[in-house]
Amino acid sequence: MAVLAATPSLSAELQDLHLNITPRTDDERARIAVVTAPPQDFSTPQPFEDLTAGAATVRVRNDADAFSQPSGNLSFDQELDFKVGNGLFKKIWVSSPSSTLASDGLGPLYNARSCQRCHIKDGRGHTPNGPDDNAISMFLRVSIPGTQEDGYAEIEDYIATLPEPNYGGQMQDFALAGHPAEYRLDISYEEIPIELSDGETATLRRPTYQVVDLGYGPLHPDAMLSPRVAPQMIGLGLLEAIPVEDLLVKADPDDADGDGISGRPNIVWSVEYGAPMMGRFGYKAGMPTIMEQSAAAFAGDIGISNPLYPASHGDCTDLQVNCVEAPHGDNDVRGFEIDQLGMDLVDFYSRNLGVPGRRDADDPEVLRGKEVFHTTGCASCHTPAHVTHRMEDRPEHSFQLIWPYTDLLLHDMGEDLADHRPEARATGREWRTPPLWDVGLTERVSGHTQFLHDGRARNLLEAILWHGGEARVARDTVVSMPKADRDALIQFLESL
């Protein structure tokens, strides 16, 4: 089976294998087209725009727990599962052997001892606060170029990579006693002044990353490193439930309509289903489902074996002999260090972190900013609205009108943001459009306003100013527009 580059072939080949769906009727398709159509009138909010996640929307809390609520339409029994999953998400793992058999298996190399320590308060991670701070919610992915034989013949344009021989798939800066950590991350910044219209200026900071104190020898000369800050966790189950056919409709890899936007899906090999699927999760859409994303994070971030990633030593390489041979927590009553029941609970928790509703959607300045957002072309990639699949076994996500502001497609964002590390079909210049829902609550939840994949942007304006490639025209329009329009645009984004 070949997954071809043309959108019609993709629609025929790619399936939502992870969902038990009820096909849409023609009447439903027509209704969906109406409610997701671009707005024509910016004097008033669109219907249901304040319900960001449909019936799953939760109230806006005024504290740091705004992203830690269960979806608004869970049943009582489901809320119990959510709370148990939350406990596993927060669990502090310990080394083996241990008397706490349900919690042992950490490492030996790791980035954090729990999911929550990266996804702090279920929000965004942050860059280190100076040379004395660690990078616990940020790490470096690493790989080397592969060959055609290392890829998947079923996926056209797949860019094969291999783990770095000494360090695996990501760099771990923590280790158990008796094991050296793999590295320490040093970041320095160059300040870049940007002149804006109406006498306004902004300053961008260009990061330089250094890996120091390497614990297992030099990096391969062709090593490709990519910094990643932990993303926020809300609304993932709803993103997972958007029909793949709706996402592929937006794909225009050859820019056939001439608008300069050529988004395309990342197509990845699903470990869970043994078939190509559309990638939805991660900064380059490298994972097709929340289950696979979570399982890979347990293995790579914490060193915890699970049914999808069964290695007891996590991301340790064959050259890290002491790590591979260290005691582990497999083969007790769990089988793996976290078993399928535990993974199902974490998956349920991650799918059902509630999305707070919109704030100030009817404010005149917000409405003006919304108009600027659309006329500037931001909505070409940050697609405002989708309707999820109808699913009998996931009623909390079924047939919901949601407002995530993403197309989940890959876009060339230019050289300034390039990491030069491919991932499946994504090139070193391509990134998935990040959802914008509740981006305005980042400071409330995470205590900072750092954005983009590596946290280099210190506010939303800086994030816009880093846009290049397909977004260059929109970025330049923001630079040259009247300051009042620019301020309105930022106020609109902060209302999401």
Per-residue pLDDT reduced to its tens digit, 292-350: 999 999 999 999 999 999 999 999 999 999 999 999 988 777 789 999 999 999 999 99
CA distance 472 to 359: 29
Mean pLDDT over residues 107-127, rounded? 95
CA distance 220 to 236: 35
Sheet holding 224-229, edge to edge: 161-162, 138-145, 224-229
For residue 7, the model assigns a pLDDT of: 45
Residue 270 has pLDDT above 70, yes or no: yes
More confident residue, 5 or 314: 314
Mean pLDDT over residues 420-447, rounded? 97
3-state secondary structure of 275: strand
Task: Report residue 10's pLDDT band, with 50, 70 and 90 as the boundaries.
Answer: low
Task: Report residue 169's pLDDT band, with 50, 70 and 90 as the boundaries.
Answer: very high
Mean pLDDT over residues 379-389, rounded? 98
CA distance 433 to 283: 8
For residue 1, the model assigns a pLDDT of: 32
Residue 389 has pLDDT above 60, yes or no: yes
For residue 331, the model assigns a pLDDT of: 77
User: Judging by beta carbons within 10 Å of its beta carbon (0-12, 13-18, 19+), is residue 455 exposed, middle or buried?
Assistant: buried
For residue 13, the model assigns a pLDDT of: 80
Six-digit token string for 250: 């937006």
Matching residue, tokens 């996500």? 397
For residue 363, the model assigns a pLDDT of: 98
Q: How many CB atoms lie within 10 A of CB 103?
A: 21
Residue 360 has pLDDT above 50, yes or no: yes
Mean pLDDT over residues 125-132, rounded? 82
In angstroms, the Cα distances linking 149 to 1, 154, 405 are 16, 12, 37
For residue 5, the model assigns a pLDDT of: 42
Whether 143 and 160 have beta carbons less than 8 Å apart is answered as no
For residue 130, the model assigns a pLDDT of: 72
Q: What are phi and psi of 60, to 5 degrees?
A: -85, 115
The DSSP result for 462-477, as a single string, is HHHHT--GGGHHHHHH
Task: Report residue 2's pLDDT band, with 50, 70 and 90 as the boundaries.
Answer: very low
Query: H or E segment at 80?
Result: helix 76-90
Six-digit token string for 131: 């040379």
Angle between helix 364-376 and helix 472-480 axes, rounded to 10 deg: 140
Query: H or E segment at 71?
Result: none
Whether 316 and 168 have beta carbons less than 8 Å apart is answered as yes
Note the pTM of the prediction, 2 decimals. 0.95
Whether 295 and 97 have beta carbons less than 8 Å apart is answered as no
Mean pLDDT over residues 39-44, rounded? 96
Task: Report residue 98's pLDDT band, with 50, 70 and 90 as the boundaries.
Answer: confident
User: Judging by beta carbons within 10 Å of its beta carbon (0-12, 13-18, 19+), is residue 171 exposed, middle or buried?
Assistant: buried
CA distance 444 to 447: 6
- At 65-77, the pLDDT tens digits run 999 999 999 999 9
More confident residue, 142 or 98: 142
Mean pLDDT over residues 402-414, rounded? 98
Mean pLDDT over residues 458-465, rounded? 98
Residues contacting residue 269 through CB under 8 Å, at least 6 positions apart: 152, 154, 155, 275, 276, 277, 424
| Buried b / exposed e along 404-441 (16+ C-beta atoms within 10 A) | bbbbbbbbbbbebbbbebbbbbbbbbbbbbbbbbbbbb
**In 267-401, where does DSSP find H-type helix?**
290-297, 321-324, 340-351, 364-376
Q: What are phi and psi of 247, to 5 degrees?
A: -70, -40
Residue 11 has pLDDT above 90, yes or no: no
For residue 9, the model assigns a pLDDT of: 53
What mean pLDDT is reported for the chain?
Answer: 94
Six-digit token string for 398: 């079924």
